[in-house]
Amino acid sequence: MSDHIQGEAHPGVEAAPAQTRGFRLNHCMLRVKDPEVSLRFYSRVFGMSVLRRLDFEEMQFSLYFLGDLEDREVPAEATERTVWTFQQRGLLELTHNWGTENEEGRIYHDGNAEPQGFGHICFNVPDLEAAVAWFDTNEVEFIKRPDQGKMKNVVFVKDPDGYWIEVVQSDLIGDIGS
């Protein structure tokens, strides 16, 4: 008997149709006010690299696709790199609408203020305690530390635009929920 399941059954869940074979989540997009500030945050604090930048001059915006470079060989040629980028899993797309860096204060809804919608992105880290110390060293804004609230060993921090980032160490949260 296998220890692996094919997904959990819940009301509303249907078997994946054959037509969806090969569909995969490629990226999640966040709008950012100032790409320099956000790129510094995600590269320094979370170790992400820009895998591809795409500029759309006519529409006045840029896209930055971020991911980790572990076990990834990124093509050097631009067209190949674009195709490769859209074949990856687990990327973060930062969208910069040109000129927003000149606006005052936070300009985007974080999804957690009323009315709620988008909630957060999540990173798994190998050592939660070390990650918390790293966030403190880098003066990252905490929403929740691992010992606070009802869900222990779960951290929430904010990025420069106020978006929430959940941070977990997977082997510390195996018994949460039911």
Q: What burial class does residue 137 get, using C-beta atoms within 10 Å of its C-beta: 0-12 exposed, 13-18 middle, 19+ buried?
A: exposed
Peptide bond into 126 cis (omega under 30): no
Give the residue carrying structure tokens 């959940």: 166
- Per the residue annotation, which of 36, 57, 58, 166 is the catalytic one? 166
Beta strand 91-97 pairing with 49-56: unpaired
Query: Whose CA is closest to 89, among 28, 27, 29, 22?
Result: 27
166 among known catalytic residues: yes
Catalytic site positions: 166
